[in-house]
Amino acid sequence: MSDFPAELRYAPSHEWVRVEDDGTVTVGISDHAQALLGDLVFVETPQVDSQVTAGGACAVVESVKAASDVYAPISGEIVEVNSLLSDSPELINSDPYGQGWIFKIKAADLDEVENLLDAEGYEASLDADDS
């Protein structure tokens, strides 16, 4: 069964976000998304300092099965990317909410996070997909 930590917010396109103490926003893909993709073999992270727009594709995760875009859940500037993923993309499979994070955004407007789904809402959106 997939795991949806209650302290995170989620985009319907399967990204999660966590607002850190310093105000930056960490982004990854959900446990559900990594399970659907299967073993990850390649991650293309965005450029640090680049500007991203909520809903815009900004990273690519490729599994043994397929390539999939990762969308910026909120607008802002990329301030850091997870450099471990270039050698160990499987971290997204083994620890999607921890070591498998993908990039950090300095939000243009932190309130955008409030527009995202909570864990319950995200889980419900998955159930709706299944039916």
The residues binding other proteins (CB under 8 A) are 38-39, 41-42, 44, 60, 62, 64-67, 90, 93
36 HSE (CA, 13 A, CB side): 12
Residue nearer to other proteins on the CB measure, 61 or 78: 61
Residue nearer to other proteins on the CB measure, 27 or 85: 85
- Name the amino acid, one letter, at 130: D
* Smallest separation, CB 41 to other proteins (Å): 4
Instruction: Centre a 10 Å sphere on the Cβ of residue 35 and count the other Cβ atoms it contains.
Output: 13
* Smallest separation, CB 29 to other proteins (Å): 17
**β pairing state of 51-52 and 25-29:** unpaired
Residue nearer to other proteins on the CB measure, 86 or 115: 86
Rounded distance between C-alpha atoms, residue 87 and residue 83, angstroms: 8
Rounded distance between C-alpha atoms, residue 62 and residue 72, angstroms: 17
Residue nearer to other proteins on the CB measure, 90 or 118: 90
Rounded distance between C-alpha atoms, residue 94 and residue 82, angstroms: 15
* Smallest separation, CB 18 to other proteins (Å): 26
**109 and 116 Cβ atoms separated by less than 8 Å:** no
* Smallest separation, CB 42 to other proteins (Å): 5
